[in-house]
């Protein structure tokens, strides 16, 4: 390859690796382990937590699997098998079950954890590519990986095998999510920070509700309406009917459209009827999409009877990172 352009060579290697791993994933999907559904049910029925363990690269993959499970409704954490032999076995209780990962199925560091599980009748779900290995022989349920070649040039570095294990862990997590009917608001409970948390914030979490809302009646003179809008600073006022329901809104645009003789009019005569509203339980991202589509800067949040509960301004969404 001495005459090959380095960029071309690198791209060729990358494409080869991705194709090898993609082919292995297709094979895993076609040859899904027979115990997969039983493993999902066992995890759903567990009284305790799902303990994930593995050594080396399998351990790194195991940590990610445990983190994904924990964030999607399945209590789970990673126990390092070597540390388990020095006291961390105390983390594993008879109410738990273990997911152990070993490509060869012969990882010696898993020995004490396997023995601990057998002693206390703790179920083991094994992930390996060797059906007759020590791990798979000891396992209660077996998630057998296809014997696909590693993607590296020497066929030894964990590449395809770790990709398969990671994907199988994702498949478990998603199957469990759907079995539990896991909801976006539950997801946000475990992801309160960062961009993801902001995207899952609800209207109720961002809306203003404590201070007096900019609300007037249909008979309120427009001079008083303007004073109310100015005092609250949202650029909008809600108009209530006789039952206290939101029947209209007045925005800065409504003021401009009715500038001629404005002070001779009442709120009911200027208001835009049947205003767009949101419910407190909606995602703030959905409310922001409504504001962008309607080219407005604020929305009232109302209850099932159309009574106003709060107000959400576009700036509240932007400050929270909802965009």
Question: Distance between CA atoms of 246 and 241, rounded to whole angstroms?
Answer: 7
Among residues 264, 263, 228, the alpha carbon closest in space to that of 249 is found at 228
pLDDT in tens, 271-296: 999 899 999 999 888 999 999 998 99
Look at residue 106 and tell me whether its pLDDT is greater than 90. yes
Work out the end-to-end distance of the chain between its first and last CA atoms, rounded to an integer number of angstroms.
48
295-317 pLDDT per residue, tens: 999 999 999 999 999 999 999 88
Q: What is the pLDDT of residue 198?
A: 66
In a 13 Å sphere around the CA of 37, the CA atoms on its Cβ side amount to: 1
Mean pLDDT, rounded, for 34-39: 97
Q: Could you tell me which of 50, 43, 168 has the C-alpha nearest to residue 98? A: 50
pLDDT at 53 over 80: yes
**pLDDT tens digits for 71-100?**
888 999 999 999 999 989 999 999 999 999
pLDDT band at 181 (very low <50, low <70, confident <90, very high): confident
């Amino acid at each position: 390859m001495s005459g090959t352009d380095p960029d071309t060579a690198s791209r060729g290697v990358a494409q080869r690796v991705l194709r090898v791993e993609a082919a292995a994933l297709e094979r895993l999907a076609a040859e899904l382990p027979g115990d997969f559904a039983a493993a999902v049910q066992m995890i759903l029925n567990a009284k305790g937590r799902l303990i994930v363990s593995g050594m080396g690269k399998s351990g790194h993959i195991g940590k990610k699997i445990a983190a994904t499970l924990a964030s999607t409704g399945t209590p789970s954490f990673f126990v390092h098998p070597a540390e388990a032999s020095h006291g961390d076995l105390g983390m594993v209780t008879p109410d738990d079950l273990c997911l152990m990962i070993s490509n060869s199925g012969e990882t010696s560091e898993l020995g004490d954890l396997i023995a601990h599980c057998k002693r206390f009748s703790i179920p083991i779900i094994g992930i390996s590519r060797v059906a007759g290995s020590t791990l798979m022989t000891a396992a209660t349920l077996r998630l057998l990986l296809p014997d696909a070649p590693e993607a590296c040039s020497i066929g030894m570095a964990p590449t395809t095998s770790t990709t398969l294990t990671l994907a199988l862990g994702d498949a478990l997590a998603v199957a469990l999510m759907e079995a539990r009917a896991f909801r976006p608001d539950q997801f946000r409970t475990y992801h309160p920070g960062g961009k993801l948390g902001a995207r899952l914030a609800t209207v109720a979490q961002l809306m203003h509700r404590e201070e007096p809302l900019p609300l007037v009646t249909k008979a309120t003179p427009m001079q008083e309406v303007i004073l109310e809008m100015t005092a609250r600073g949202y650029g909008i006022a809600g108009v209530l009917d006789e039952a206290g329901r939101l029947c209209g809104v007045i925005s800065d645009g409504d003021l401009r459209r009715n500038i001629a003789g404005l002070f001779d009019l009442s709120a009911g005569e200027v208001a835009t009827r049947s205003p767009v509203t949101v419910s407190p339980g909606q995602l703030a991202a959905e409310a922001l999409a409504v504001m962008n589509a309607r080219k407005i800067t604020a929305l009232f949040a109302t209850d099932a009877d159309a009574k106003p509960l709060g107000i959400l301004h576009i700036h509240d969404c932007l400050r929270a990172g909802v965009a």
